Chains A and B, each alone.
Chain A
Amino acid sequence: MSEAKTSEPLFSKKNVALIKNPLNKINPVTIQVLGICSALAVTVQMDNAIVMSVAVMAVLVLGNLIVSLMRNMIPGKIRIIVQLVIVAGLVIIVDQVLKAYVYDVSKKLSVFVGLIITNCIIMGRLEAFALGNKPWASILDGVGNGFGYGLVLVIVAFFKELFGSGALTIPGFEKFEIFGNATDMTGLYSMGYMDNGLMLLPPSSLFIVGIYIWVQKYRNPDLIES
């Protein structure tokens, strides 16, 4: 029945914009400044960042879908608590799945999986988008914002891990030792190159995100704050 009603194609211009815009113009992390806590804290290694982005995207898409399906049933006054319960339930599922299939990464992410519940991106999208839009559009919005979040995480993790430990870890592959092995003194290390220890410490992610925002706003002057 719903297909007869929606004359709009599945990937109309409006729907594609839902996926494309969060990647740059309305990026949830760098422009809207939401969900920073986890974005900065899990970026010491690439595989943590990738698993975290997938987890957030899963919660975001499913949460958006559920809230959008229920949008006419949720009373306005208690909507925040309803959303919290939905998100908390989804996060428990995600946490159990991570523990079952990627236990090492789930150990390294520690409390940050639980903190997806209070990730402002999720509450923000549920509140601002899913409560007022149809399920399909809400799913696309979830995918778009999930990618926008993941993009920043992966970029930050790339610089932190490459310059902090000279290697890149991607789930499902061996560790890529790009600059060589520090203990065996191979590759760049044989010429006296040393890892930058600061990159492994928390402040460096703040610097990298700061510079990322700088570059992004320089390329899109209309985003600059007055």
Chain B
Amino acid sequence: MEYINIFIKSAFIDNMIFTFFFGMCSYLAVSKTVKTAVGLGSAVIFVLVVTTPLNYLLETLVLQEGALSWLGDDYATMDLSFLSFIMFIAVIASIVQLVEMLVEKFSPALYGALGIFLPLIAVNCAILGAALFMQQKQFANIGEATIYGLGSGFGWFIAIVLIAAIREKIKYSHIPAPVRGVGMAFILTGLMGLAFLGFLGFEL
């Protein structure tokens, strides 16, 4: 039950795009067609599910105050949390690189589908944002952190696929010239965000 709650909360209530605007850059740049949106969305889910638990382990075993106590009493009072930014981004960048190589080796079809999106993800705020929020929320175990990663990725996926579908249709509408393109995408995202506000306070 706890897991389902975390999933719903991270996917719908605290949606990455509509509530925190994480990963807006790629969200706006790659949402012109549904096909590319699905590609980038699945790549984000994939990377989030892999990196969030890894960063959770890093946080609880190395960075947190007193996390190093497994090394001996001398290390029990150490607080390395100021290093978390650089450690998280290093983990993310290297995992993305690793995932790219593994996918290319073992599943060329998936590699072809994700294509150029994988390397782009290293600098997607959604991944680092999920890691930093995971650090703030202090999950009880690695399972919760993984579900949080999955839920956030899923929420991001829905958002980008929805906006891509709308932008495909809106090409045929008469929009005032100055607001065409990015301006309209902003206003549309705002309207979708309003709809997602309806999930506020929802709990199982």
Residues of A that sit less than 8 Å from B by CB? 30, 33-38, 40-41, 80-81, 84-85, 88-89, 91-92, 95-96, 110-111, 114-115, 117-120, 123, 201-207, 209-211, 213-218, 221, 224-225
Contact = CB atoms under 8 A, between A and B. Distances in A.
Interface of B: 18-25, 28-29, 82-86, 88-90, 93, 122-125, 127-129, 132-133, 136, 176-184, 186-187, 189-191, 193-194, 197
Contacts of B20: 37, 41, 202
A209 B179 CA distance: 11
A34 B129 contact: no
A58 to B, nearest CB: 15
Contacts of A80: 122-123
Contacts of B178: 213-218, 221, 224
Nearest to B23: A37
Contact of B18 (A120, A202, A209, A221): A202
Nearest to B119: A80
Given A33-B29, A37-B24, A88-B85, A202 B19 contact: yes
Nearest to B183: A213
B93 A81 contact: yes
Contacts of B90: 85, 88
Of the candidates B178, B181, B187, the one having the most CB atoms from chain A within 10 angstroms of its own CB is B178
A88 B23 CA distance: 18
A201 B22 CA distance: 15
B132 A88 contact: no
Of the candidates A91, A111, A217, A225, the one having the most CB atoms from chain B within 10 angstroms of its own CB is A111
